Structure 1
Amino acid sequence: MKYIILLLFIHKCVTFDVPKSGCKTDLTIDDDHYNVTETYNVGDVYPTDAHYDPYGNLFFVEYGRNYKGYFFNIKVIKQNTTDAQNIPGLPDGESYSIAVDKKNANVYFGTSKGIFVFNYYRNEATLVSNPDFKLNMIFIDKDGNKYITDNPNDTEELYLLAGDKKIRFRSFEALNEMAIDDKNNFYYIKDEKLFVLKSNLSKAQFIGNVSYKGFAQISFYEEVVFVASETLTYIHENDTGSLKLVKNIPGKVTAISFDNSGNFILGTYGKIFKYTANNNECYHRKN
């Protein structure tokens, strides 16, 4: 008799003793659940323009203020580390933008002293343009073509680079933020509105309203477009509805980037949070 009671006791433990950590979800996007698995402290700065390279290293721009005024520095958190490191060779306080060339596995930096590329062997940045070359933001499409923005007349304008020659895109001006997806569609924020210029169309399409207070980032995973602009919103590429709001974000977010596995980071003042998919299932007692 006592063996039957013992078996019943074990059966109840196996059925109902579920670890609480397996059921906890920090953030949900559609039907996918994510948990914070790493927190990087980055100091008294805003992390912006974050990008994973093909090897799992996270590059980002830190924006802050010191006794000299405002500064922009590019840093890297290498795979399997937790500390943000400086990148030797970049202009101090004047490194503004990052672009990953997925086709050629290179990372480029836009600075006040020209365009630099990350040298993995030397662990430093190397100048690949004229040091007098002016730009604010840099982008690279799926074919390896480079684009930059500049504001010669106090209006942000977009150019295609052909060697040292700049070819202006006249349909793009007064941009706040921009990103190019893996299909060479151009997504951009202008006047607190999100637009897309698809590669097979000649006219941009309005997607939806977004808040913009000076910091934002557009990012992609598979066929979903994400916008981190204090809030975090997203929309499926072919969806005609409005942008969806992600709840439970860790404050006002200024950066977002996805790695090759679909895990992602969110940047907010002083911190970068890494989110990993939670594939654990919660079992509930059935009456």
Structure 2
Amino acid sequence: MKLFILLLVTKACLCFDVPATSCKSDLSIDNDKYNVSETYHTDGGYPTDAHFDDDGNIFYIEAGSNFNGYYFNARIIPLNSTTPQNIPGLPEGVSYSIAIDKNNKKVYFSTGDGIFSYDYETQKATLMSKPNAKFNMISIDKDGNKYVTKNVDGIEEVYLLVGESKIRFKTLEALDEMAIDNKNNFYFIRDEKLFVLKSTLSLPIVLGNVTYDGMAQISFYEERVFVASNNLTYFHENDTRFMKIINNIPEKVSAIAFDKDGNFVLGLLGKLLHYKKHQCYLRKN
């Protein structure tokens, strides 16, 4: 009799898929749920301008201060590592921005001592411009063109780099942050407002307000545009009327970057949080 009851219970259990994990998530974006999978501890500064390459390595700038004043160091977290590493060949303290050309598998660093590129074979950075080519931000469009910004009399100006020459991009100026999506649309922050200069338009348009206090990052995943600037907001490219705030961000956020699978990192003071998509498994009859 006991054996018969056990067989009935076993047979009944085979009719269900037991959930592999709970459905609790740390945050949600639309219908996607995410949990923190890793915490990467930095040296105490704010991670800014973070980027994934297609191999899963994370490049970012760490902004902080010490007895010598403010510093901006470019660092890498290699795939399958949780420890940020310095990048040999880069000057200390003056790396301001990172751009990744995924089509050509190139990584560029804009520094106070020129523009450097990353060599995947040697895992070192080498100078690729004149040492006096000092720019702040660097961005790359889908065709591999490089755009840089430079502060001239207090105004941040944008230039297109052509070899060692630079051509003024007069449509954009006096901006604080900039990013280019895969359709060659320019998104930027100016006067605590988010703008976009569409590749099909001649003048930028305002998308909404953002809180900006010196650190922010604009990033993209599929049809969504994300802005990390104190809080974390996003909207869909085909519906720019509403900017949504993502809840459950633990504190002030300074960077966001997505990998090719839609997982992402958030930069917060002293750390990067790695969020991965979370699958809920439901019982089936």
TM-score (norm 2): 0.94
Q: Which residue of 2 aligns with 1:161?
A: 161
1:166-181 matches, within 5 Å, as 166-181=166-181
Q: Which residue of 1 aligns with 2:89?
A: 89
Rounded to whole Å, the distance in 2 between the matches of 1:218 and 1:16 is: 40
Rounded to whole Å, the distance in 1 between the matches of 2:179 and 2:148 is: 11
Unaligned runs of 5+ in 1: none
CA-CA distance at 1:5 after TM superposition: 3.9
Q: Which residue of 1 aligns with 2:227?
A: 227
1:100-249 matches, within 5 Å, as 100-249=100-249
1:6 partner SS? helix
Greater mean deviation of Cα atoms: 254-263 or 273-282: 273-282
Q: Which residue of 2 aligns with 1:41?
A: 41
Q: Which residue of 2 aligns with 1:23?
A: 23
Equivalent residues of 2:17, 2:282 under 8 A apart: no
CA-CA distance at 1:155 after TM superposition: 1.0
CA-CA distance at 1:282 after TM superposition: 4.0
CA-CA distance at 1:63 after TM superposition: 0.4
What amino acid does structure 2 have at the position aligned with 1:166? Answer: K
Q: CA separation of 1:56/1:17 partners in 2, compared to 1, >3 Å: closer, same or farther?
A: closer
Equivalent residues of 2:23, 2:279 under 8 A apart: no
1:82 partner SS? coil
Rounded to whole Å, the distance in 1 between the matches of 2:216 and 2:240 is: 22
Rounded to whole Å, the distance in 1 between the matches of 2:221 and 2:127 is: 30
Q: Which residue of 1 aligns with 2:98?
A: 98
1:92 partner SS? coil
What amino acid does structure 1 have at the position aligned with 2:272? Answer: I
Q: Which residue of 1 aligns with 2:272?
A: 272
What amino acid does structure 1 have at the position aligned with 2:140? Answer: I
Q: Which residue of 1 aligns with 2:6?
A: 6
Rounded to whole Å, the distance in 2 between the matches of 1:18 and 1:186 is: 43
Displaced runs of 4+ in structure 1, greater than 3 A?
1-19
Greater mean deviation of Cα atoms: 178-187 or 249-258: 249-258
What amino acid does structure 2 have at the position aligned with 1:217? Answer: Q
1:244 partner SS? strand
Question: What RMSD over aligned residues (CA atoms) do the two structures have, in Å?
Answer: 1.8
2:6 partner SS? helix
> CA-to-partner distance for each residue in 1:49-95, whole Å, 9 max, x for gaps?
00111211100000011100100000000011110000011111111
Equivalent residues of 2:19, 2:281 under 8 A apart: no
Equivalent residues of 1:43, 1:270 under 8 A apart: yes
CA-CA distance at 1:43 after TM superposition: 2.5
Unaligned runs of 5+ in 2: none
Rounded to whole Å, the distance in 2 between the matches of 1:278 and 1:263 is: 10
Rounded to whole Å, the distance in 1 between the matches of 2:153 and 2:271 is: 35
CA-CA distance at 1:150 after TM superposition: 0.3
TM-score (norm 1): 0.94
1:132 partner SS? coil
Q: Percent identity?
A: 57
The answer to whether residue 233 in structure 2 is matched with residue 256 in structure 1 is no
Rounded to whole Å, the distance in 1 between the matches of 2:18 and 2:161 is: 60
Equivalent residues of 2:255, 2:267 under 8 A apart: yes
Pairs aligned (count): 284
Equivalent residues of 2:61, 2:73 under 8 A apart: yes
Q: Which residue of 2 aligns with 1:54?
A: 54
Equivalent residues of 1:254, 1:268 under 8 A apart: yes
Rounded to whole Å, the distance in 1 between the matches of 2:4 and 2:192 is: 68
Rounded to whole Å, the distance in 2 between the matches of 1:174 and 1:152 is: 10
